[in-house]
Amino acid sequence: MKVLVTGSAGFIGNRVSERLLERGDEVIGLDIMSPYYDVKLKEARLAKIIDHENFTEARIDLADREAVAKLFEDHKPDGVINLAAQAGVRHSLEAPIDYVDSNLYGFVNILEGCRNTNVKHLVYASSSSVYGTNDKMPFSTHDKVDHPISLYAATKRANELMAHTYSHLFQFPSTGLRFFTVYGPWGRPDMALFLFTKAIMEGKTIDVFNNGEMSRSFTYIDDIVEGVIRTLDAPPSLQVGGEKDPASSHTAPFRIFNIGSDTAVGLMRYIEVLEENLGRKAKKNMLPMQPGDVASTWADVNDLRDAVGYQPTTTVEDGVKKFVEWYKDYYGD
């Protein structure tokens, strides 16, 4: 298969690209190398795949309509995995236009490319953030998600609605994946595990929001990648559902799945596992909840399990250990 992966120098996109290349697929990797976080880390990720004979780099901006259209026309991919986006709930409070450019303009460019070159399946990243303040646990794709509490979440929900419209009008299969707190080696420096590890190793204080009364479906990167690729290989047909099932459609080959760990782990336990692996105690600065954040997330992944056999297997204990080993190797003890 020829697959366009956007965000190919990003945390998830890079590992997805690696796995596709390992199994013999051709990958066109789009990434603008945004300076949102350390570009050297992105370059180091990209270095792992850039010399592969089946990899083609496209260093263009997802929001550049003409460049994206030409990329689709030149390569005519069979499948698209859209993982490029302006990420981060906190940053969306400070730089909202970044989210409009990448997550809205950029995404419609992807949809147009799929439409005009007859892409067989679009898989795109949504987010658990779309559930907002939903207090029904675990989060299910059968629940309504009409009240996002951050612009980041709003753009991800908009992506789902845009994808359904295009799948309905032009009948190309699309699948949205709502990611739940992904972590692991080569992770993003703005994520909690990375920030905590760096601070603890430097003897600095970590910020613990909501006084530590938080929980997440912390999901190891390899479990995410397995689910993404299984989903790519299983494009949806017309579904029966519609209004009774917001995750499917009776008018379009369209589905939405949760993808993440099916176990919620408390933030304080997460920190405790990190302390054990670092052999150091964290200095904690206990803070109230920050705007746009939620106290808990917990993924119901039964639909994805039924559809593609998805089964996350990595425990927090094993996953954090692997991250710490990578961090020490990459940055030094």
Backbone torsions φ then ψ of 206, nearest 5 degrees? -105, 145
Backbone torsions φ then ψ of 122, nearest 5 degrees? -105, 120
CB of 247 within 8 A of CB of 257?
yes
| Packing angle of the helix pair 106-117, 151-170 (nearest 10 deg) | 20
Long-range contacts from 315-319, C-beta under 8 angstroms, 24+ separation: 316/218, 316/265, 316/269, 316/270, 316/273, 317/273, 318/220, 319/183, 319/184, 319/218, 319/220
Q: Give Cα 265 to chain centroid, integer Å.
A: 19
Looking at 37, 131, 152, 183, which residue is catalytic? 152
Give the Cβ contact number of residue 74 at 10 Å: 12
Cα 324 from Cα 333, distance rounded (Å) = 10
* Of 138, 133, 150, the residue nearest 265 (C-alpha): 138
Cα end-to-end distance, the chain, whole Å: 41
Does the annotation mark 327 as catalytic? no
Q: Which stretches of the chain are DSSP H helices?
A: 11-22, 39-47, 65-75, 89-94, 96-99, 106-117, 151-170, 192-201, 221-232, 267-278, 302-308, 316-331
Q: Which residues are catalytic?
A: 152
